Chains A and B, each alone.
Chain A
Amino acid sequence: MAKSKSIRVKVNGSERLATVQARRNLADFLREDLALTGTHLGCEHGVCGACTVLVDGEAVRSCLMLAVQAEGHEITTVEGLTTPDGEPGPLQQAFWDNHGLQCGYCTPGMLCATAALLKENPHPSAEEIRERLSGNLCRCTGYQDIVESVIAATK
């Protein structure tokens, strides 16, 4: 029988208490238990990057982390990148303004990966952006408008 465990995590600024199965991954916890469906799953094994979220400010593939491992940590999903009144945050606005998405499925992961990148390096070059986002697949854009969106967000 699957074991359950109570966890306490901070998600997008709110304390959340939940009982989860030990095997539940963070992505499913966010999507199914917390209804934060902005986090997308594309491959379920850490390759495509669509499920990237921030754990204590660092980019993490939520499909590769168990929800129980998030105990005591602070998680930011794409929903947490908005302004306090729910409008697109600066990074999201930069993607909007620069056509940084087409179907939008990879976008939450791109945004979270970018947030982590810019925290570390506020003014990355196009080459550094391409390198750092190379773990996030996009099938629509050819990446260029994503790179331009990130550069726009640094200005």
Chain B
Amino acid sequence: THDDAGEHGAAVAGGGTGRPKPKNVNQMVEFQRGDLAQGFAEADVVLEDTYRIARVHQGYLETQGSVAERAPSGGYTVWTSTQAAFGARDATAKFLGIPAHEVNVIPTQVGGGFGGKFVLVEPLVAALARRVRRPVRLILDRTQDFLVSHPAPGAIIRMKMGAKKDGTITALEAELIFDAGCAPGAPVGVAALMLAGTYRCANLDIVGYEVLTHKVSPGAYRAPGAPQAYYALESHVSRVADALGLDPLEFRLKNAVKEGDIRPDGRPWPRIGLIECLERAQRNPMWLNRKSCGPDEGVGIAVGGWGGGTEPATGGCRVNPDGSLTVQVGSVDITGVNTTFALIAAEVFGLPVEQIQIATNDTDHAPYAGASGGSKTTYTVGAAVLAAAQDAKNQVLEMAADRLEAAVGDLDMADGRVFVKGAPNRGVTVGELARLANRFGSRYRPLHGQGRSAVHTSSPGFTVHLCRIKVDRSTGMPRITGYVAIQDVGRALNPAEVVGQIRGGAVQGIGRALFEAMQHDEGGQLANATLADYAMPTSADLPDIEVDLVEVPSADGPFGAKGVGEPPACPGAAAVVNAIEAAVGVRVRDVPISPEVIVDGLEGGASR
């Protein structure tokens, strides 16, 4: 039923600037550059096609829910599984018409978010608690969650690309239609930007429409807009390379953007690692051996990327009398980012990570941080934690200098102890210093570091996925027999977490290709609002996923880190369909894939 968006969008004429905005379109985005007609005239090959990708759900295993009660001191306390404690506080206070400080949000452990858990039922539950003067708990069951939460929009993307025999892309025209449901907010702008900004192209005409329909409005889901854009872009790029008789990886390398290239919005790309990822893919055994696959088996390639979010953040770092550190943050831990914070503080102090405690505080007590999302938690809150730990370390060194009667510059710190360089016996432990500072009548101020960050330059992360698929000719079922994810992560602070994020993201992309679609009836009602009817990848559907980390350090992230959560969700769908074409010569245009389409394609011969 994203067809209804297509029908509405189909009424829109393409080409040229100053297009009219149809009544059912909430927002239009346009990027133009150069001379499109000239670009197509220069091309040796021009290929045009349309790709469809379904509306999908974040599919977190824990449904959404909150508990609210009137606090004894007035105001409301809200316990909620959210990625955005401060966001939930502000939305709840606004809804209740009370000042923000009268709402205290206690964020609970999040059972998966993927962008879906910013604010949902918190204001409602708090309002009910006010009305009935009792604590109120609302935990959505799975069907309710499917019906009322904000999934990722389906999209129809028409692509027209021209390229020369030498592999230069000369023109790109694209029309993106995003099903915005009943309220504004579909991420068509970022989709258009990534779609037109990943490869150099002098002549562009890109238009995106956010079309209003009678469905629930979408929200954020892991790299909002980008998986849709990369599905169309990377399907199409492989086919243009094919039409030119060029290697799809060489073709991508020739056109891939690098630092300084101008994006469609006129801004230059900062330091990015797309080319490094492609070069790594060139050397990967799966790619090198792609011509020697078994029968009906083939390897597909696709690129993905995400700009990376930013938001100011604060962190605290308290030095405890036992020599340990308590790091205080206002960001919610989603899938292990607190461990990364602990590693950052441990690195600064040269302490074992077990000596670092991370306190995820409620909104009454936490230093401010934005939502844990947008691939910005390590990147921005981590930067605040780094600054807080450095501040605390400076305080420790200053106090030690006073105690040891030495200059700060003459001090070293190791194993939780500060000592004079060259005289290791002249020292004092960090714990002793904290005990001295936390004592009645002490002349020392408590050791408590604070860090603030306002990193406002994002560090985009790019990735290349390789997928090997074997197709069962009798049923049309594709089976993934191998998968490689190569990603520029800046610097992997916690490699286990980084690799886990990449695998999980890749599987969500595979889910878009093979299984996932929210299906609506003619009236716009969701028809598959259960986990029995909405299929997600299981362990038996997947092979091992090889992860290859590329490290092109960011300028502003802690120790060069970049956001890693979102890029891996982008290339999967195109990698899968490109692999199917490599395997059996059938081009799939709509995902999730129906095996019937593959069987039809096999019976009717290759459809190129």
Q: Which positions in A face B, CB cutoff 8 Å?
A: 40-45, 47-48, 50, 99, 102-106, 126, 129-131, 133-147
Contacts and interface: CB of A to CB of B under 8 A. Distances in A.
Contacts of B62: 40, 42, 103, 105
13 contacts: A44-B141, A48-B531, A99-B496, A102-B335, A103-B334, A130-B539, A131-B540, A137-B531, A138-B61, A139-B504, A143-B539, A145-B500, A146-B539
Nearest to A127: B540
Contact of B500 (A131, A135, A136, A141): A141
B508 interface: yes
B112 interface: yes
B61 A102 contact: no
Nearest to A135: B538
Contact of A142 (B59, B109, B497, B504): B504
A142 to B, nearest CB: 3
B105 interface: no
Contacts of B113: 103
Given A40-B61, A133-B539, A105 B507 contact: no
A77 B60 CA distance: 22
Contact of B503 (A105, A129, A137, A141): A141
B110 interface: yes
Given A47-B532, A99-B497, A137-B538, A144 B61 contact: no
Main secondary structure of the interface of A (DSSP, over half): loop
Nearest to A148: B544
B530 A43 contact: yes
Contacts of B231: none
A103 B531 contact: no
Interface residues of B, number: 38
A135 B113 CA distance: 21
A86 B147 CA distance: 40
A11 B583 CA distance: 52
Contact of A139 (B59, B336, B544, B545): B59
Contact of A143 (B58, B63, B499, B507): B507
Given A139-B508, A139-B536, A47 B545 contact: no
Contacts of B61: 40, 42, 48, 50, 103, 105-106, 137-139
A134 B60 contact: no
Contacts of B112: 103, 105, 139-140
A141 B545 CA distance: 11
A131 to B, nearest CB: 5
B114 interface: yes
Contacts of B334: 103
Contacts of A141: 500, 503-504
B523 to A, nearest CB: 24
Interface in B317-337: 334-336
Contacts of B496: 99, 145
A139 B532 contact: no
Nearest to A131: B540
Contacts of A147: 539, 544
B110 A47 contact: no
B531 A142 contact: no
Contacts of A130: 539-540, 542
A62 to B, nearest CB: 15
B111 interface: yes
Given A40-B61, A137-B538, A147-B539, A104 B109 contact: yes
Contacts of A143: 507, 538-539, 542
Contacts of A146: 539
B142 interface: yes
A52 to B, nearest CB: 12
B258 to A, nearest CB: 29
A144 B532 contact: no
Contacts of B110: 103
The 10 A-B pairs of least Cβ separation, nearest first, read: A105-B111, A142-B503, A134-B540, A102-B335, A143-B539, A142-B507, A43-B531, A134-B538, A99-B496, A130-B539
A120 B58 CA distance: 34
A137 B142 contact: no
Contacts of A48: 61, 142, 531
Contact of A103 (B63, B335, B530, B542): B335
Interface in B127-185: 141-142
B506 interface: yes
A44 B142 contact: yes
A105 B60 CA distance: 9
Interface in B49-72: 58-63
A140 B335 contact: yes
A29 B252 CA distance: 57
A144 B499 CA distance: 10
Nearest to B544: A144
Nearest to B538: A134
A93 B358 CA distance: 21
A25 B453 CA distance: 49
A44 B62 CA distance: 11
Nearest to A145: B500
Contacts of B507: 142-143
Given A103-B334, A134-B538, A140-B335, A45 B497 contact: no
Given A130-B542, A134-B538, 9 more contacts: A42-B62, A102-B497, A103-B61, A105-B61, A134-B540, A137-B538, A139-B61, A142-B504, A147-B539
A50 B336 CA distance: 20
B335, B504, B536, most chain A CB atoms within 10 A: B504
Interface string B333-355: 01110000000000000000000
Nearest to A106: B61
B89 to A, nearest CB: 22
A51 to B, nearest CB: 11
Contacts of B540: 130-131, 134
A45 B63 CA distance: 14
A127 to B, nearest CB: 9
A134 B539 CA distance: 5
A43 B533 CA distance: 11
B335 A142 contact: no
